[in-house]
Amino acid sequence: MSNIQNPILPGFHPDPSIVRVGDDYYIATSTFEWFPGVRIHHSKDLKHWRFISSPLTRTSQLDMKGNMNSGGIWAPCLSYHDATFYLIYTDVKQWHGAYKDAHNYLVTAENIEGPWSEPIYLNSSGFDPSLFHDEDGRKWFVNMIWDYRKGNHPFAGIVLQEYSEAEQKLVGPVKNIYKGTDIQLTEGPHLYKKDGYYYLLVAEGGTEYEHAATLARSKTIDGPYETDPNYPLITSNKKPELALQKAGHGSLVETQNGEWYFAHLCGRPLKETYCTLGRETAIQKVEWTEDGWLRIEDGGNSPLQEVTAPDLPEHPFEPEPEKDNFDGETLHHQWNTLRIPADSSWCSLTERPGHLRLRGMESLSSVHSQSLVARRQQSFHCEFETKVDYDPEYYQHMAGLVIYYDTEDHVYLHVTRDEQAGKSIQLIQTKQGEYEERLEKPISIQEEGPVYFKGVIHEASLALFYKQAEDGEWTPVGPELDPTHMSDDSAENVRFTGTFIGMATQDLSGMKKAADFDYFIYKEL
């Protein structure tokens, strides 16, 4: 089989948790404030991947209304034992300032595609939890612990506690088993057992350009843990020449042939340091040394863009279709909503067959109820298009094409109504919370009929267009825009998602006026 090209999951797919079940491999990744929660991809060869399920589909499992930007699902852990899949996840309600309101839960399923159980609450002492199934049948829960007190380091180490499956709760003492290294910011713990050692894999250095992953080991599960003398296992820190930056947080898997691989987080910056696609998932082949430590296959600790593939048959999947005609009764798995599920109160594929009907709700700045359906941008070069049928009555009615990072940073090409221009097109760019109309005046359009919108992104350039007839010419709208403000790296505070592209509508009068979208095309160039 030819080599693996990184990243294996392009676009916003951070914090990979990888597991093998027989001949099948699964990776679970973080979704933050986007619904449904957690994305799981499937592979047979570690090279080709396809989406297979999102376990958290109900508000009884994940209620994110009101969660702040980059809250929600942080760093899930997927494991398998005794014919059952276990998914551990954190729902972060608030994370700025001294405190972190981070609640940790467990759901289970017999089939990776579900249905997944109702959640079992575990604790709220910190984030990045994971579950380890020991050979003696006991289960152990680890998470980083947060210390809000002034003068103490907030990343206070990795704590261990036993999980009782019979009682469905954590039991026994809580022990701090590892404080990390001088890289600091120790988080993302995963436990493994090999050759009489418990191995603890952690992320360190924060999730930006100083990120890293470190391995430690102990003869007993509760320590003491000794750190690999040649730590870290991986980092891109101070290596600006590398294509894969931010390398760190990840997990390990052994193939059925005894080869080992490390799935990890990475980012690919555009000009300066802007990762508009968000944090992605890459994979490295790793090898055990004679003295029982792991090394990346070339012996160094830098992430490789091209990786030796495992000794497995190549197993590609059919590519995803570029066009969604909205002909089904449920949304395609590429689509996501913000904080809330796509229920019939505001989102329908059946009220007008062949169309996605969205009923307007709150503004693009809302952390509660937005009528927004979007998908990840997964290439630096892409084109996207939609057709919207909408009859706005006031300036408070808007519907159209959105390029969205979060409530603070987005671009919105939409139909609205203006007192002078009538039914018209407006272009809004919001940067770090500052609203700006990018047209000198709205563009008047005909009262009857749909509007077609198109966007083209080439790295740090976003061009937008419209037309009013299927066979019409595309007309540019406004200036070409710089989309790099829609990245983890452009805000004053660190944040964790990536750019999404999709459809939205607002009715700021509160009457839930509907907009109908006939299709959506997303094409990588």
- Fold matches, 4-307 and 323-524: no
Catalytic residue among 33, 187, 228, 516: 187
Cis amide prior to 310 (ω within 30 degrees): no
pLDDT by residue, tens only, the chain of 525 residues: 789 999 999 999 999 999 999 999 999 999 999 999 999 999 999 999 999 999 999 999 999 999 999 999 999 999 999 999 999 999 999 999 999 999 999 999 999 999 999 999 999 999 999 999 999 999 999 999 999 999 999 999 999 999 999 999 999 999 999 999 999 999 999 999 999 999 999 999 999 999 999 999 999 999 999 999 999 999 999 999 999 999 999 999 999 999 999 999 999 999 779 999 999 999 999 999 999 999 999 999 999 999 999 999 999 999 999 999 999 999 999 999 999 999 999 999 999 999 999 999 999 999 999 999 999 999 999 999 999 999 999 999 999 999 999 999 999 999 999 999 999 999 999 999 999 999 999 999 999 999 999 999 999 999 999 999 999 999 999 999 999 999 999 988 899 999 999 999 999 999 999 999 999 999 999
Q: How far apart are CA 10 and CA 14, in angstroms?
A: 10
The burial class, CB within 10 Å (0-12 / 13-18 / 19+), for 409 is: buried
Catalytic residue among 15, 280, 385, 406: 15
* Long-range contacts of 350-356, Cβ-Cβ distance < 8 Å, separation of 24 or more: 351/514, 352/516, 353/327, 354/325, 354/326, 354/327, 354/518, 355/326, 355/389, 355/516, 355/517, 355/518, 356/326, 356/331, 356/503, 356/516, 356/517, 356/520
118 token code pair: 């109702």
Q: How far apart are CA 31 and CA 35, in angstroms?
A: 7
Question: What CA–CA distances, in Å, run from 119 to 59, 105, 137, 339, 343?
Answer: 11, 6, 22, 18, 21
Q: Tell which residue, 302, 290, 318, 358, has the closest CA to residue 520.
A: 358
Of the options 3.10.20.740, 2.60.40.1580, 2.115.10.20, 3.30.60.50, the CATH number for the domain spanning 4-307: 2.115.10.20
Question: What CA–CA distances, in Å, run from 36 to 29, 72, 347, 484?
Answer: 12, 11, 14, 26
DSSP state of 115: P
CB 460 within 8 A of CB 483: yes
Active site residue 418: no
pTM of full prediction above 0.95: yes
First-to-last CA distance in the chain? 26
Active site residue 409: no
CA dihedral 490, 492, 494, 496 (to 10 degrees): -50
Domain range annotation of the chain? 4-307, 323-524
Please tell me the class of the 323-524 domain: mainly beta
CB 219 within 8 A of CB 198: yes
